[in-house]
């Protein structure tokens, strides 16, 4: 007879878990999550799986926040995030993507943040519609890489921060051989325009010290910077635990477009979560008995043991949520010192494809502001759609126009490359900068600001926890970074609440926990349509 018995099989009917669940007095701790973007949803799912009672309050009439797949063209078009940065199993979103069988179109195998497209996948044109020879594009691309490498030396030499643009200008003074003339100069401007798109801000505003925050050295400096602030904070609060949202290293695997759009990922994380749409939070108050009261436009109040705030940094900067008592100075200064960039997408659907089969169509010009580029969705998805992307000041300026005028502006750009381009059958225009639910696209490092801002933004204030893209020290401005930040905020919140429970309540809570099915890892490979 097999003597091996499984522990769970041998348990009598009345397991601890069953016993506890039979009792009516199981009081699950209650947490409010503000915002149903990927960060808030990840926090809510993680809390819900840890058997907390969780409610998500969302100001919009939809979930997903800056992940928004539009289907009005009859095909998925991502108007917010569209790339998975880090197409590998290390990506925390990989398990969900694998499970859903979603396809990724790898646009670049390069892990660096600037090259989310391989150089050979560009089709660049000048303002007169002449195609730029691909060798020139590659040659200037290589020169740009060298220029950026040289800026690292300048950064190491100087104590004070400066903008990336200033750094580039010093490099070109020192290395005249890297200067570009004529059309090559315009191609260089185009690369700068692409860099500006990554940060969603003009190059004269991007911090040279922080722009490529690598893992280890920066993390050390973050610890160095945060400790004095933390000591001050713990002196005020009488607690000594340092909870900090820090991730490992840059993700490998290059960059991949979500061919079916990001929406299925959002829907999966949101499954069965209590989400209240059209609930705009206006005030968060802490009470003397360790509760939080969350007030919603219209006057409804929600009371909870803790709150996790995942609204965009732009919303926090604009003080659209009032705190009582006020947040401490170390937190408010982190909010005000972080920058928030802007990027907008204008998607155009045509009846037929009239452009070449490249991934990116770009127009070079004498300034990065007047350069432009279109993502060719046809190459990755088979749908006749081009997506124009404008960042920084251009994105801001376009928001001053009507949708129709914006689409006309974009068509003028396209017609410079393809004079016979027909009018689009449909178009879509985003306004991430003026939308009161975002007020910007994502966080960036302002020149000369302390390096611990993201970490400070992620620090809790008693039972108020912070998630969202901008609290992730390493992967801010990304979907996976926002996801991780949500999970971290949830874990910090769980720890906080757990420490306040008695032994019996802890046991009850543990008995209700269920294993994650959505956040789990699996063995099904990622589906990548271009290796
Ligand atoms: C144009 C654009 C392109 C991008 N491209 C990529 C990409 O290709 N790859 C990538 O990885 N990342 C990309 N990103 C970044 C990525 O989309 C974000 O980092 C991520 O989606 C942020 O998630 P979040 O949950 O932190 O914030 P959000 O998604 O903004 O969620 C916050 C939620 O809070 C809600 N809210 C706001 N105010 C209130 C309030 N007062 N009360 C209640 N709710 C409120 C908002 O409506 C929103 O739903 C892009 C972003 C933009 C804008």
pLDDT one digit per residue (tens) for the chain, 531 residues: 333 333 333 333 444 444 445 555 557 899 999 999 999 999 999 999 998 999 999 999 999 999 999 999 999 999 999 999 999 988 999 999 999 999 999 887 666 666 666 666 789 999 999 999 989 998 998 999 899 999 999 998 988 999 999 999 999 999 999 999 999 999 999 999 999 998 999 999 999 988 775 433 333 333 333 333 333 333 343 333 333 333 334 688 888 999 999 999 999 999 999 999 999 999 999 999 999 999 999 999 999 999 999 999 999 999 999 999 999 999 999 999 999 999 999 999 999 999 999 988 999 999 999 999 999 999 989 999 999 999 999 999 999 999 999 999 999 999 999 999 999 999 999 999 999 999 999 999 899 988 889 999 999 999 999 999 999 888 889 999 999 999 999 999 999 998 887 777 777 777 777 666 666 544 556 676 654
Task: Note the helical H segments in 311-437.
Answer: 313-317, 329-337, 377-381, 392-398, 403-417
**How many whole angstroms from 130 Cα to the centroid of ligand 1?**
38
ipTM over 0.95: yes
| Structure confidence by residue, pLDDT tens digits, 377-436 | 999 899 999 999 999 999 999 999 999 999 999 999 999 999 999 999 999 999 999 999
| Structure confidence by residue, pLDDT tens digits, 255-299 | 899 999 999 999 999 999 999 999 999 999 999 999 999 999 999
Nearest ligand 1 atom to the CA of 282 is 41
Query: Which residue's CA is the nearest one to ligand 1's atom 10?
Result: 478
CA 412 to chain centre: 31
Domains along the chain? 39-66+215-340+439-521 (3.50.50.60), 112-211+343-398+400-429 (3.90.660.10)
Q: Is 59 in the pocket of ligand 1 (CB under 6 A)?
A: yes
Q: Is 119 in the pocket of ligand 1 (CB under 6 A)?
A: no
Biggest CA-to-CA distance, the chain: 86
Residue 268 backbone zone (phi > 0: left; psi -120 to 50: alpha; other: beta): alpha
DSSP 173-194: HH-GGG---HHHHHHHHHHHHH
Q: How many CA atoms lie within 13 A of 478 on its CB side?
A: 21
Mutate to test the pocket of ligand 1, among 39, 57, 66, 487 (most ligand atoms within 8 A of CB): 66
Mutate to test the pocket of ligand 1, among 46, 253, 479 (most ligand atoms within 8 A of CB): 479
What pLDDT score was predicted for residue 113?
61
The secondary structure element, H or E, covering residue 389 is strand 385-391
Q: Is 389 in the pocket of ligand 1 (CB under 6 A)?
A: no
- The C-alpha atoms of residue 388 and residue 348 are separated, in whole angstroms, by 8
Nearest ligand 1 atom to the CA of 35 is 34
Burial 99-132 (b: 16+ CB within 10 A, else e): beebbbbbbbeebebbbbbbbeebbbbbeeeeeb
Nearest ligand 1 atom to the CA of 470 is 26
Mutate to test the pocket of ligand 1, among 81, 201, 490 (most ligand atoms within 8 A of CB): 81
Q: Which residues contact 73 (CB under 8 A, 6 or more apart)?
A: 347, 349, 383, 385, 426, 428
Mutate to test the pocket of ligand 1, among 38, 61, 62, 65 (most ligand atoms within 8 A of CB): 65
Q: Is 437 in the pocket of ligand 1 (CB under 6 A)?
A: yes
Q: Quote the tokens at residue 135.
A: 């060798």
Nearest ligand 1 atom to the CA of 485 is 26
Q: Are strands 464-466 and 306-309 parallel, antiparallel or unpaired?
A: parallel
Contact 341, 441 (CB under 8 A): yes
- The C-alpha atoms of residue 43 and residue 37 are separated, in whole angstroms, by 10
- The C-alpha atoms of residue 23 and residue 7 are separated, in whole angstroms, by 24
What pLDDT score was predicted for residue 531?
43
Degrees to nearest 5, angle at CA 31 with 30 and 32:
130
Contact 351, 425 (CB under 8 A): yes
Query: Distances from the Cα of 408 to the Cαs of 72, 362, 515, in angstroms?
Result: 20, 17, 52
CA 495 to chain centre: 25
In 217-325, beta strands by DSSP E: 255-258, 274-276, 281-286, 292-296, 301-304, 306-309, 322-324
Q: Is 91 in the pocket of ligand 1 (CB under 6 A)?
A: no
Query: Which residue's CA is the nearest one to ligand 1's atom 37?
Result: 437
323: phi then psi, degrees, rounded to nearest 5: -115, 135
Residue with tokens 């360790």: 290
Q: Is 57 in the pocket of ligand 1 (CB under 6 A)?
A: yes
What pLDDT score was predicted for residue 68?
98
- Pick the closest to residue 364 from 115, 176, 116, 182 (CA basis): 182
């Amino acid at each position: 007879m097999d003597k091996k018995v499984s522990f769970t099989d041998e348990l009598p009917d009345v397991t601890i878990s069953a016993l506890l669940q039979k009792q009516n007095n199981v009081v699950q701790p209650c947490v409010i999550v503000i915002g149903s973007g990927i960060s808030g949803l990840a926090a809510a799912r993680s809390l819900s799986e840890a058997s907390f009672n969780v409610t998500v309050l969302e100001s919009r009439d939809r979930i997903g926040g800056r992940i928004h797949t539009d289907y009005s063209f009859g095909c998925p078009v991502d108007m917010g995030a569209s790339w998975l940065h880090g197409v590998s199993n290390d990506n925390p979103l990989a398990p969900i993507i694998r499970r859903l069988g979603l396809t990724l179109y790898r646009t670049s195998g390069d892990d660096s943040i600037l090259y989310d497209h391989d150089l050979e996948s560009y089709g660049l044109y000048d303002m007169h519609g002449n195609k730029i020879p691909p060798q020139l594009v590659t040659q200037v691309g290589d020169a740009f890489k060298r220029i950026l490498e040289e800026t690292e030396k300048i950064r190491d030499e100087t104590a004070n921060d400066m903008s990336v643009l200033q750094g580039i200008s010093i490099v070109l003074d020192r290395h005249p051989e890297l200067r570009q003339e004529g059309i090559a100069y315009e191609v260089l401007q185009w690369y700068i325009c692409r860099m500006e798109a990554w940060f969603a801000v003009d190059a004269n505003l991007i911090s040279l010290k922080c722009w490529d925050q690598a893992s280890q050295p920066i993390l050390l400096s973050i610890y160095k910077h945060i400790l004095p602030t933390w000591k001050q904070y713990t002196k005020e609060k009488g607690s000594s635990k340092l909870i900090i949202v820090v991730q490992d290293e840059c993700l490998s695997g290059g960059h991949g477009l979500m061919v079916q759009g990001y929406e299925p990922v959002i829907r999966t994380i949101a499954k069965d979560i209590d989400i209240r749409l059209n609930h705009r939070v206006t005030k968060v108050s802490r009470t003397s008995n360790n509760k939080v009261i969350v007030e919603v436009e219209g006057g409804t109040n929600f009371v909870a043991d803790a709150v996790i705030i995942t609204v965009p940094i732009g919303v926090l900067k604009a003080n659209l949520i009032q705190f009582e008592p006020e947040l401490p100075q170390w937190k408010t200064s982190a909010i005000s010192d972080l920058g928030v960039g802007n990027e907008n997408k204008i998607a155009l659907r045509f009846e037929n494809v009239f452009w070449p089969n490249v991934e990116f169509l770009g127009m070079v010009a004498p300034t990065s502001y007047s350069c432009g580029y279109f993502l060719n969705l046809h190459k990755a998805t088979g749908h006749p759609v081009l997506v124009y992307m404008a960042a920084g000041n251009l994105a801001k300026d376009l928001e001053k126009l009507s949708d129709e005028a914006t689409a006309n502006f974009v068509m003028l750009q396209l017609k410079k490359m393809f004079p016979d381009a027909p009018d689009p059958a449909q178009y879509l225009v985003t306004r991430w900068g003026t939308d009161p639910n975002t007020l910007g696209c994502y966080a960036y490092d302002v020149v000369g600001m302390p390096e611990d801002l993201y970490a400070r933004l992620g620090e809790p204030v008693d039972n108020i926890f912070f998630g969202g893209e901008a609290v992730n020290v390493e992967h801010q401005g990304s979907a996976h970074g926002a996801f991780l930040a949500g999970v971290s905020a949830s874990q910090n919140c769980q720890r906080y609440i757990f420490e306040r429970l008695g032994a019996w309540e802890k046991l009850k809570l543990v008995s209700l926990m269920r294993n994650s099915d959505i956040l789990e890892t699996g063995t099904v490979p990622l589906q990548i349509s271009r290796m």
